[in-house]
Amino acid sequence: MIKDDDARKLIARIVDGDQSAFRALYDLTISDVSKTVGFLLDNPDGRDDVIQEVYVSLYGALRQYNPSKALRPWLMGIVLRQISSYRRSHWRFQRIKQKSVESSAPPIEHDFSEDVADKVFNEKLLFAVLSLPPKLRSVLVLRFLHEYTREEIAEALSIPVGTVNSRLTRAIQELRAKNFSIKTEGGVAKYEF
């Protein structure tokens, strides 16, 4: 887990010109970033590109970082914006490609890291989560995979807490409609089948 005090010190060093501090910040954050990108991005070929764009954006935005705010939600906001940007450009590219070449593309194969597979242990649940719309999937992943608070999710997505609550409710209702149930006990997600 990213500790805000460590992150603040590293960011101050980066802003002061210490390039080695950016490597340390990268090492501190890459696990959360890669898990989120891996889980939310349908196209495995674009994951490395999105992660690279996240860190390019992060580096450019460090001077605007408010040290009184937690780093994780701010960083996840950057991650989610880059995923959204990639989806839009990938969608446009696919649409153009589809119009120019009338061929069927091979199905997309999902390749998730072992950490995500361990956390989301049931394949049926994984496919049910993947079938959710991106807005619902995002709040579900941040809440149950990364264990963010509703306030942290709201900050990361730049939406009101009420919107987070309604999206979580809708996501859970859609999973229940597919015969899955998610309950929390002490902040830990419990899945019922």
User: Which residue, among 1, 21, 23, 3, has the nearest Cα to 12 in the 3D structure?
Assistant: 21
- Whether the predicted pLDDT of 172 surpasses 60: yes
Over residues 51-72, mean pLDDT: 91
Taking the C-alpha atoms of residue 159 and residue 139, their distance in angstroms, rounded to an integer, is 11
Residue given tokens 């090492």 in the structure block: 27
Q: Specify the DSSP element, H or E, that contains 192.
A: strand 188-192
Question: Backbone phi, then psi, for 185, in 5-degree steps?
Answer: -130, 110
- Residues contacting residue 14 through CB under 8 Å, at least 6 positions apart: 21, 22, 25, 59, 62
User: Which residue, among 33, 40, 143, has the nearest Cα to 86 in the 3D structure?
Assistant: 40
Please give the pLDDT value at position 120.
45
Least confident of 35-39, 52-56, 95-99: 95-99
More confident position, 141 or 181: 141
Q: List the helix and strand counts (H, then E) for the chain.
A: 9, 2
Please give the pLDDT value at position 183.
58
Q: Specify the DSSP element, H or E, that contains 9.
A: helix 4-15
Please provide the average confidence, as pLDDT, over all residues in the chain. Answer: 80
| C-alpha 71 chain-centroid distance | 14
Over residues 44-48, mean pLDDT: 85
Taking the C-alpha atoms of residue 53 and residue 37, their distance in angstroms, rounded to an integer, is 11
Q: 103-130, pLDDT tens digit by residue?
A: 455 555 555 455 554 554 456 777 777 8
Over residues 157-182, mean pLDDT: 86
DSSP state of 107: P
- Whether the predicted pLDDT of 45 surpasses 70: yes
Structure tokens at 152: 């942290």
DSSP characters for 172-191?
HHHHHHTT-EEEEETTEEEE
Cα 157-145-150 angle, rounded to 5 deg: 40
